[in-house]
Chain A
Amino acid sequence: MRKLRALMMRLCGLLSFRHGDDDFAVELESHVAMHTEDGIRSGLSPQEARRQALIRLGGAEQTRQAYRERLGLPCLENLRLDARYALRQLRNSPGYTVTAVLTLGLAIGANTAIFSLVHAILLRQLPFSDPSRVMTVENGMDAGLGFNMDSKSITASFNEAAGSFKTIENATMYSSIGANVELGEGSARRLKAAETGARFLDVLGVTPRLGRGFAPDEDVPGKDRIALISDRLWRSGFHADPAALGKTIRANGVYFVIVGVLPPQMDFPANVDVWTPTVFDQHTSLREAGAYISTVLVRARANNSAAAVRAEVNARAANSRDQGTAHASEPPPDARPIVTPIAAELTKSIRASLLMLSLAVLFLLAIACSNVAGLALARTAARRREFAVRTALGATRRRIIAQQLVESLFVAMAGGASGVLFANGALRLLYLFRPAALDAFQRPAIDASVLVFTASMAIATGMAFGMAPAWLAGDADPGDALRAGTSHASIRGARLRKILISGEMGIAFVLLVGAGLLLRTMANMDKVHLGYDTKGILSFSVALHGEPYISKEGGNPAISAFCKGVLDQLDRIPGVTAVGAVSSAPLDTRADMLLPVMAADGAQRSAGGAPRVASNGYFGLMGIPVIEGRGFSSQDNRTNPRVVIVTKDLADKLWPGQSPIGRPIHCFWYCDASPRVIGVVSSNRRFGPRGDAISEFYFPTAQQDWTYFTFVLRTSGNPAELASSARRAVAAVNPSQPVYDLETMRDRLNNNESLLRFELFALSVFAALSVLLVLIGLYGVVSYTVTQRTREIGIRIALGAKREAVLMSLLRESALITMAGEALGFAASLVGMRLLATALFGVTPHDPETLIVVGALFLLVAIAATYLPARRAASIDPMQALRIE
């Protein structure tokens, strides 16, 4: 306690140092005066009395020093002096300071930017209670955790199955879908909605901020017309009015009563605004036609890990397969259940990219660190007289090292501070190239925890690059240094710098290979023949809901009338050269459903295919070639025979080696009238360059009702400019229909590749920065060598050495450093590029061309960095060089 008090007082003493010191001077003076008076009184001469008084005091200056040390804290005091000295030193060499601070700022900035992404996404605290216990289960059907269509009561059998697990506390299913939502009277807006089991919130452990959640029995018919809304919708649609509870909203034509508002952090599934309980036993209302994908979500019992849940689910599934009770239409046994913790599931699309980029920026930081270490080493060598003088005057080795470290820390802190500024800009830039996967997460920001990260990174950096120079500074042998020869310390420093540069090259090599591989991947993707056009086409979607558009036996004329009406309106827009409609366009993110399709002509072959509707003119507009038969025409209407168009691969599966034209097909739901094939279109890569084509079969919009459409229009101008005209066209037919996903086909393709684009952009920037740093670093080393060896080179030239030989010897040295670095980088690339393997397309991680190009590039960089200083060396005038010292 007393010690602590004393420490506090000494800390205060540090602040009011001067005052305490002056105070003591007065006290000491009065002490000496009193002692002197006593001496005079005892008969000494005034001079002698004062002398005696000072002797007994043990020296006024020594006493003051002892007092001073007690007054403050000597180590902090030293630090203060070191800091002042360091600042003065840094001010005296602005070139070094600016270069070092900028270099570190760039690297720390890159790290800060990437870390703020990692912090916002991977380290995010999920807004669930005890989120580590929440997991998704895929392929859980055999274990009873799935959408069991064979069961009489899907909900009951699911709940029963879930309740029988020892490791699972609670389970639910959910599915997220698009919904046309009307908050009151007026036009609908297109939002994301989730249909969930009644226990959804219990599984997640989320409590509404207002109102209540779903009761356990509210996913049964008659009780299910209730909804929870997001905080976002509550604010934008109800002005955050608590009276929103009890209000009725309409989603996809169905009325729901709002019973609760979820907290603002709750954003699961991502971007959903409306949650409703689903009656799994019926086709519930929110669903739009097409695929319905439900995800199983479980909460593990306390103290049960994902591994425990996985083991039990697997055991259950294996058991039911052995007993032959597994779901009949379930895919082969290798589709085993997958249990994934929710945090991993939510970040799976972007985790690998972020880890890769984190590694890349760490590499960049290592390069920056070693570059600044190189600069600092050169500075140490240049200052060795200073250190020698200080050592000779009694500075301890420890003090010199500490002082050098303080200097490095200052540089690093300044680097960290400028890094925060860089990071701010970098984040904005990164966001321009943000992948679609990032939209599911909150926008990263530089907050307190990111700043703490940056500060610790800066300190670690300062230590890292300050260590070697400080050590060498402390090593300076005063006699040696003062004699002004080439000291051991500076030779060791120079060797260390060369090793550092080799290491840097190795790292930069890896980064550049990574960027090169991604660049080749991008080029390969652009070369892929997609099977459809993406240029000059605008697309948007509309989903029809509500009474006028209810599907009816034998067709609802309102649906085909709507489609035809919109197409007519679109056709009238100036500049539009073609219009079309399809149920699901290429690059659509809507889930697909594959139905079994059978050849109905006795061949008895069947294959899976995705059913679609398309208007006449659609294939031509999209550039999807009709390779056999014909496309749809206006004659393909309700009164004429039913027709179907199949993709080439479907035709090949159903009628191998034969022409499919005129042959009938069978399928669920859409083939009652035995449609006959009238045409074959070529297959297309609807999932983008990386995806394979899937089999599809198309009905004409005039013969088959479908409740959602993607309209496409082609123009010779810029398709993006037609956006508002397209909205007006839909409004002219039905003003209450929301238009969504309004974007050009090109944008759709870009979104599809956005993650790669993001990685390529970020990695290219980091690789370019690293090469620039290496260039600067190598230039620095060679220049320094030339300066150090001016005398030696001068003597050589005086003795008759050819200038070319001098040039060559320096180039050779650089080449050696570079080769060593390349060897290192080559080896590291062979190992490291496996990380990228999943991102690559059409190129192997060990692509020899990339490796060769990068290797050659580095040699060029090395020559470029060496040439200027080497030429300076070769043009040294021997007379001047010898006169230098």
Chain B
Amino acid sequence: MGGKTDVWQGTLALMTLKTLETMGPQHGYGLARRIELTSGDQLQLNYGTLYPALLKLEQEGYIRSRWGTSENNRKAKFYELTKAGERQVKKAAAEWEQTTEILARFLTPVEEA
């Protein structure tokens, strides 16, 4: 599967939350495909890791789930953001931006004075 990046632990949660924020309620499979799509197929998601991650978010109260019917008329579990989840997306996104910004400063070559 060369060329594609595995997802880091921790970032998957943020991706999931962000995706749910933009897309609204999604089932697990749709969510996985959506994340891959958003990454421009740069990410290779091990779908099996998505479900424990979703369960963790649900246990933490950021998302909730209910059973519904998929576009193909199939019974599926849909996940959606809770109020706490909406706050968490903003907070985590801000943190992430800050982190990458700081890291970028280190990685960008600085011209010596």
User: Is there a chain B Cβ closer than 8 Å to A18's Cβ?
Assistant: no
- Shortest CB-to-CB span from A557 to chain B, Å, is 96
User: Is there a chain A Cβ closer than 8 Å to B39's Cβ?
Assistant: no
In the complex, what distance in Å separates the CA atom of A24 from the CA atom of B50?
12
**Which residues of chain A have C-beta atoms less than 8 A from B27's C-beta?**
30-31, 34
User: Is there a chain B Cβ closer than 8 Å to A44's Cβ?
Assistant: no
Cross-chain contact A34 with B47 (CB below 8 angstroms): no
**Which residues of chain A have C-beta atoms less than 8 A from B52's C-beta?**
66-67, 69-70
Per-residue contact bits, chain B 40-69, to A (CB 8 Å; 1 contact, 0 not): 000000111101100110111100000000
**Which residues of chain B have C-beta atoms less than 8 A from A26's C-beta?**
75
- Shortest CB-to-CB span from A837 to chain B, Å, is 65
Cross-chain contact A34 with B48 (CB below 8 angstroms): no
User: Is there a chain B Cβ closer than 8 Å to A725's Cβ?
Assistant: no
- Shortest CB-to-CB span from B83 to chain A, Å, is 14
**Which residues of chain B have C-beta atoms less than 8 A from A5's C-beta?**
59-61
Q: Which of A54-62, A271-279, A457-465 forms contacts with chain B?
A: A54-62
User: Is there a chain A Cβ closer than 8 Å to B76's Cβ?
Assistant: yes
Which of B29, B30, B58 has the most chain A CB atoms closer than 10 A to its own CB? B29
**Which residues of chain A have C-beta atoms less than 8 A from B46's C-beta?**
56-58
In the complex, what distance in Å separates the CA atom of A67 from the CA atom of B56?
9
In the complex, what distance in Å separates the CA atom of A63 from the CA atom of B75?
20
User: Is there a chain A Cβ closer than 8 Å to B98's Cβ?
Assistant: no
**Partner pick for B51 among A6, A24, A33, A37, CB 8 A cutoff:** A24
The residue on B at minimum CB distance from A23 is B77
> A5-B59, A5-B61 in contact; A30/B74 too (CB < 8 A)?
yes
The residue on A at minimum CB distance from B30 is A34
Interface positions of A from 699 to 715, Cβ below 8 Å from B: none
User: Is there a chain B Cβ closer than 8 Å to A210's Cβ?
Assistant: no
Cross-chain contact B51 with A63 (CB below 8 angstroms): yes
Cross-chain contact A66 with B77 (CB below 8 angstroms): no
- Shortest CB-to-CB span from A257 to chain B, Å, is 70
> A33-B74, A34-B76, A58-B46 in contact; A28/B51 too (CB < 8 A)?
yes
Cross-chain contact A10 with B59 (CB below 8 angstroms): yes
User: Is there a chain B Cβ closer than 8 Å to A35's Cβ?
Assistant: yes
- Shortest CB-to-CB span from A766 to chain B, Å, is 53
User: Is there a chain A Cβ closer than 8 Å to B9's Cβ?
Assistant: no
**Partner pick for B29 among A23, A35, A59, A62, CB 8 A cutoff:** A35
**Which residues of chain B have C-beta atoms less than 8 A from A13's C-beta?**
59
Cross-chain contact A31 with B47 (CB below 8 angstroms): yes
User: Is there a chain B Cβ closer than 8 Å to A152's Cβ?
Assistant: no
B contacts with A, residue count (CB < 8 A): 23
> A34-B70, A34-B72, A70-B56 in contact; A2/B48 too (CB < 8 A)?
no
**Which residues of chain A have C-beta atoms less than 8 A from B58's C-beta?**
9
Per-residue contact bits, chain A 861-878, to B (CB 8 Å; 1 contact, 0 not): 000000000000000000
Per-residue contact bits, chain A 19-60, to B (CB 8 Å; 1 contact, 0 not): 000011011101101110110000000000000000011110
- Shortest CB-to-CB span from B23 to chain A, Å, is 16
- Shortest CB-to-CB span from B41 to chain A, Å, is 13
**Partner pick for B47 among A10, A38, A58, CB 8 A cutoff:** A58
- Shortest CB-to-CB span from B85 to chain A, Å, is 11
Per-residue contact bits, chain A 204-217, to B (CB 8 Å; 1 contact, 0 not): 00000000000000
Per-residue contact bits, chain A 69-102, to B (CB 8 Å; 1 contact, 0 not): 1110000000000000000000000000000000
The residue on A at minimum CB distance from B33 is A38
> A6-B56, A34-B72 in contact; A62/B61 too (CB < 8 A)?
no
Binding site secondary structure of chain A = helix
> A5-B61, A70-B55 in contact; A62/B74 too (CB < 8 A)?
no
Cross-chain contact A30 with B75 (CB below 8 angstroms): yes
Interface positions of B from 57 to 113, Cβ below 8 Å from A: 58-61, 70, 72, 74-77
In the complex, what distance in Å separates the CA atom of A69 from the CA atom of B53?
11
> A5-B59, A26-B75 in contact; A63/B70 too (CB < 8 A)?
no
**Which residues of chain A have C-beta atoms less than 8 A from B75's C-beta?**
26, 30
- Shortest CB-to-CB span from A56 to chain B, Å, is 5
The residue on A at minimum CB distance from B57 is A6
In the complex, what distance in Å separates the CA atom of A10 from the CA atom of B113?
56
* Contact count A vs B, C-beta below 8 Å: 72
**Which residues of chain A have C-beta atoms less than 8 A from B55's C-beta?**
67, 70-71
In the complex, what distance in Å separates the CA atom of A26 from the CA atom of B77?
9
In the complex, what distance in Å separates the CA atom of A2 from the CA atom of B85?
11
In the complex, what distance in Å separates the CA atom of A35 from the CA atom of B76?
12
**Which residues of chain A have C-beta atoms less than 8 A from B76's C-beta?**
27, 30-31, 34
- Shortest CB-to-CB span from A657 to chain B, Å, is 101
**Which residues of chain A have C-beta atoms less than 8 A from B56's C-beta?**
6, 70
Per-residue contact bits, chain A 501-512, to B (CB 8 Å; 1 contact, 0 not): 000000000000
Cross-chain contact A2 with B60 (CB below 8 angstroms): yes
Cross-chain contact A34 with B74 (CB below 8 angstroms): yes
In the complex, what distance in Å separates the CA atom of A33 from the CA atom of B52?
19
The residue on B at minimum CB distance from A66 is B52
The residue on A at minimum CB distance from B88 is A2
> A2-B60, A2-B61, A56-B46 in contact; A27/B70 too (CB < 8 A)?
no
In the complex, what distance in Å separates the CA atom of A312 from the CA atom of B75?
88
**Which residues of chain B have C-beta atoms less than 8 A from A63's C-beta?**
47-48, 51
Cross-chain contact B48 with A57 (CB below 8 angstroms): yes
In the complex, what distance in Å separates the CA atom of A402 from the CA atom of B20?
43
Which of A5, A31, A69 has the most chain B CB atoms closer than 10 A to its own CB? A31
In the complex, what distance in Å separates the CA atom of A129 from the CA atom of B55?
56
- Shortest CB-to-CB span from B71 to chain A, Å, is 9
**Partner pick for B48 among A6, A9, A10, A62, CB 8 A cutoff:** A62
**Which residues of chain A have C-beta atoms less than 8 A from B29's C-beta?**
30-31, 34-35
In the complex, what distance in Å separates the CA atom of A24 from the CA atom of B30?
16
**Which residues of chain B have C-beta atoms less than 8 A from A59's C-beta?**
48
Interface positions of B from 12 to 26, Cβ below 8 Å from A: none
- Shortest CB-to-CB span from A49 to chain B, Å, is 13
In the complex, what distance in Å separates the CA atom of A201 from the CA atom of B66?
69
In the complex, what distance in Å separates the CA atom of A66 from the CA atom of B9?
14
Cross-chain contact B47 with A56 (CB below 8 angstroms): yes
- Shortest CB-to-CB span from B70 to chain A, Å, is 7
> A2-B60, A35-B29, A71-B55 in contact; A30/B70 too (CB < 8 A)?
yes
The residue on B at minimum CB distance from A5 is B61
- Shortest CB-to-CB span from B20 to chain A, Å, is 16
In the complex, what distance in Å separates the CA atom of A250 from the CA atom of B30?
95
The residue on A at minimum CB distance from B71 is A34
**Which residues of chain B have C-beta atoms less than 8 A from A24's C-beta?**
51
The residue on B at minimum CB distance from A56 is B47
Name 14 interchain pairs, CB-CB below 8 A, sorted by A: A2-B60, A9-B58, A27-B51, A27-B76, A27-B77, A30-B74, A30-B77, A34-B27, A57-B47, A62-B48, A67-B51, A67-B52, A70-B59, A71-B55
State the A residues within 8 Å of B (CB): 2-3, 5-6, 9-10, 13, 23-24, 26-28, 30-31, 33-35, 37-38, 56-59, 62-63, 66-67, 69-71
State the B residues within 8 Å of A (CB): 27-30, 33, 46-49, 51-52, 55-56, 58-61, 70, 72, 74-77
For the complex of A and B, list the 10 residue pairs with the smallest distance between their C-beta atoms, beginning with the closest: A58-B48, A63-B48, A9-B59, A70-B52, A6-B59, A34-B29, A2-B60, A31-B29, A30-B76, A27-B77
Given contacts A24-B51, A27-B28, A33-B74, 6 further A-B pairs with CB under 8 A are: A5-B60, A13-B59, A27-B77, A34-B76, A35-B29, A63-B48
